[in-house]
Amino acid sequence: MDSVDMEVLQKCLHWQNDGHRVALATVVKTWGSSPRQIGSLLAIRDDGLLAGSVSGGCVETDLIERMRTVPTTHPEVLSYANSTDECSRFRLPCGGTLQLVLEPAPQKLMLQAILDAITHHRLIGRRLDLASGHATLYTPQTDETTRFVGLTLTSVHGPRWRLLMIGAVQTARCLAQIAQALDYQVSVCDPREEYRKAWSIECAELVPGMPDEAVRAFVPDVHSAVVTLSHDPKIDDLALPEALKSPAFYVGTLGCRGSNAKRRERLRQLDLTEGDIGRLHGPVGLPIGSHTPPEIAVSVMAELTAARHGIELGIAPAARENMISLSHLAVS
């Protein structure tokens, strides 16, 4: 499963190889309520075919017309919904305003270099000088994001976030695929040989060792999450102390209310503070009535996404405590 960035850039390369002209639009600024976030990409082929998105559709329609009538030969800045009439025309909600950089798509060699970096789970940045149209590649810091300053557009591509899963179970397979689509670099650890042999998700690296060793080797940072899914305390409990003492923005564990209460009691016997233990999301995921491994994966990624964006969900403790016990699914 490809990330959104990779899908758009792959289309750019594929279309160029087929002899088409291709333009690339990047969202660089938003005001008010806008449909897509900064860094969102849209590729437009000379015959109007699209990959990606920058709005709900009306901005894309305008860009298609531009591509057909005025071929994009140099980078330019476009703003949408600067007036009430434009806001209505482009259907941007709540008076939102959108600013894009529209440019001829990067050349084939540069596109291939970007795609190779993403494929190998590496961050890669591209600096575009709008005045000259010249672009260069560089290695960004992990906290860098797409930004537009003066006449320079800096785009950052690749897995900006990391997820370590403990337990190569069916739920982990579903979670790995969803996480990769959301730009996570995914790893999984399971010391059980039978589960390791059955692991077949190409987008997730199977790491060796015991869970505590895997967490230490993972070196969690503020862009990292650790989720335990084996539902075996002998496995999950090994990973949690290392993860809870780390800067990871999210640490979660599968299980019902009772098993998580017992887990917290066990953690209190270790070198952990109440603050450390209070960081644990357990039962993991949002209480959406999940029953199947794919549904559980959706609930986990929904909560993880909220945490990643700093959103306080305000779910009542009773609602979380009444989540269905998923223990019979965790080992499927």
pLDDT in tens, 58-78: 789 889 998 888 888 999 999
Mean pLDDT of the chain: 86
What's the pLDDT at 34? 60
What's the pLDDT at 33? 58
What's the pLDDT at 322? 47
State pLDDT tens for residues 312-330: 776 544 444 444 444 334 4
What's the pLDDT at 6? 82
Q: Are residues 171 and 268 in the same domain?
A: yes
Q: Exposed e or buried b for every residue in 270-303, given b needs 16+ CB within 10 A?
A: eebeeebbebbbbbbbbbeebeebbbbbbbbbbb
DSSP 94: G
Q: Are residues 59 and 176 in the same domain?
A: no
The residue-averaged pLDDT of 256-282 equals 92
Q: Are residues 96 and 124 in the same domain?
A: yes
What's the pLDDT at 315? 53
State pLDDT tens for residues 37-58: 889 999 999 999 999 988 867 7
Q: pLDDT class for 88, splitting at 50, 70, 90? A: very low
Q: What is the Cα–Cα distance from 14 to 30, expressed in whole angstroms?
A: 30
Q: Are residues 140 and 30 in the same domain?
A: yes
Residue 36 has pLDDT above 90, yes or no: no
0.85 exceeded by pTM: no
What's the pLDDT at 82? 59
Q: Are residues 137 and 175 in the same domain?
A: no
Q: Are residues 149 and 174 in the same domain?
A: no
Residue 62 burial (CB < 10 Å; 0-12/13-18/19+)?
middle
**Which of 157, 174, 197 is the C-terminal boundary of a domain?**
157
The CATH number of whichever domain residue 185 belongs to comes to 3.40.50.720
Q: Are residues 11 and 53 in the same domain?
A: yes
What's the pLDDT at 160? 73
What's the pLDDT at 1? 38
Q: What is the Cα–Cα distance from 3 to 308, expressed in whole angstroms?
A: 17
Q: Are residues 237 and 284 in the same domain?
A: yes
Domain count, the chain: 2
Residue 253 burial (CB < 10 Å; 0-12/13-18/19+)?
buried
Q: Are residues 138 and 259 in the same domain?
A: no
Q: Are residues 143 and 180 in the same domain?
A: no
Q: Are residues 22 and 114 in the same domain?
A: yes
Check: CB of residue 78 under 8 Å from CB of residue 99: yes
What's the pLDDT at 14? 97
What's the pLDDT at 274? 93
Residue with tokens 């809870």: 244
Q: Are residues 218 and 89 in the same domain?
A: no
**Beta strands, E only, the chain:** 22-31, 41-45, 50-52, 76-80, 97-104, 124-129, 135-138, 147-149, 152-157, 161-166, 184-189, 204-207, 224-228, 250-253, 280-281
Q: What is the Cα–Cα distance from 272 to 63, expressed in whole angstroms?
A: 55
Low-confidence winner among 4-8, 194-198, 218-222, 245-249 (lowest mean pLDDT): 4-8
Q: pLDDT class for 209, splitting at 50, 70, 90? A: very high
What's the pLDDT at 143? 77
Give me 215's structure tokens: 């967490």
What's the pLDDT at 323? 44
Crossing angle of the two packed helices 293-308 and 170-181, in degrees rounded to 10: 40
Name the strand (E) or helix (H) holding 320: helix 317-321
Q: pLDDT class for 3, splitting at 50, 70, 90? A: low
Give the domain extent around 222.
161-330
**Which of 112, 142, 157 is the C-terminal boundary of a domain?**
157
Give me the percent of the chain exceeding a pLDDT of 70.
87
**Which of 157, 173, 201 is the C-terminal boundary of a domain?**
157
The residue-averaged pLDDT of 156-165 equals 87
For residue 204, which of 158, 163, 242, 238 has the smallest C-alpha distance? 163
